[in-house]
Every structure is written in C-alpha cells, then in structure tokens.
Amino acid sequence: MLTIHAAAEVRRSWDDPRPLRDGGVVVQGSRVAAVGPLAELRQRFPAARVRSWPGVLGPALVHEGPLPEAPSPRERLHAVLTSGAVAVLQRYAEGPELRAAAERNDIVLLAAVRPPVLADGGRADLAVLDADGACLATVCAGRLVHRRR
C-alpha cells in the first residue's frame, strides 16, 4: 500500500537546520518512495492514502543504550519502538531470543551508532515526535508499529 505520512514539519535528519514545512514522506512497502512538499507528493501519488501527524516527522531513532527491562524479549523491543527507535546496538541485543525477536520485528541491529536519515529508496523507518521530544508514532520498515493514543 502506498502511504504519505504528512506533518507540518519534516526533517530528513534530526540535525537538519532547514526542515521541510508542510511536507511528507511517501512509503511504498518497506521503502521511502519520496520526500517533499505535501502538495507535490499528492500530485505525484494521487492514489496514496494520506496519514497526517501532529508534531515533527523524521527518521526513526537509534536506541544507544541497554534495552529496557521487561518480562520478554518482545516486550523489551516494543519499549524501544515506543521511543521512536527502530535500531539498537548489537552489543545490547544479548541472547538468541532477543536477536530473533529483533529479526521478526524488522529492528535493525547496528555495530555502531549512525545518524538516522530519510532518503529516497531507503528503508521506511520514521518517527513522529511532539514538541517535548516524546514519540507519537513509529514506522518500522514501512509498518506502523507504535501510535500514542
């Protein structure tokens, strides 16, 4: 399914000093098809469903520390997803159960921290953050995996 995730402010990276106003990210399957002004994206992709988000839309985050404690590997990873992160450092993914859960949920295991970016053709990993930096929604490999109610 083709979806445009739209927000009043879109950032290709969280360090980007020039955010895109009234922008969007087109997601096709697990990939980013395009990033740009919402009006242009609606014209280029007229059949796309539009999901509008409050807050700032940007690349999903990297969880840089130990994973939150929880009763199961799945719940530990879900806690990461609710923070807007879809990647964790390999050194914190201890044990085969945790690595298997990460694989099942498309969570990326990284050898080292890398700055997340939104790029055409790249994996569709998105986070929507409110003004305080709290995560409102997380998209992992094109799937909405967390939405704050």
Buried b / exposed e over 134-145, threshold 16 CB at 10 Å, is ebbbbbbbbeeb
Q: Quick count: other Cβ atoms within 10 Å of Cβ 2?
A: 13
Under the banding of pLDDT at 50, 70 and 90, the label for residue 17 is confident
Does the structure show a pLDDT above 80 at 149? no
At 116, the pLDDT band (50, 70, 90 cuts) reads: very high
Q: What is the pLDDT of residues 34-47, one digit of tens each?
A: 999 999 999 999 99
> What is the pTM assigned to this prediction?
0.95
User: Crossing angle of helices 96-104/73-81, nearest 10°?
Assistant: 50
Please state the rounded mean pLDDT for residues 43-54. Answer: 97
Over 90: is that where the pLDDT of 62 sits? yes
pLDDT exceeds 90 at position 1? no
Q: Tens digit of pLDDT for each residue in 73-114? A: 999 999 999 999 999 999 999 889 999 999 999 999 999 999
The pLDDT of residue 9 is above 80: yes
Report how far residue 115's alpha carbon sits from residue 46's, in angstroms, rounded to the nearest whole number. Answer: 32
Residue extents of the structural domains in the chain:
2-60+116-147, 62-110
Please determine, looking at this structure, whether the domain spanning 2-60+116-147 carries the CATH number 2.30.40.10. Answer: yes
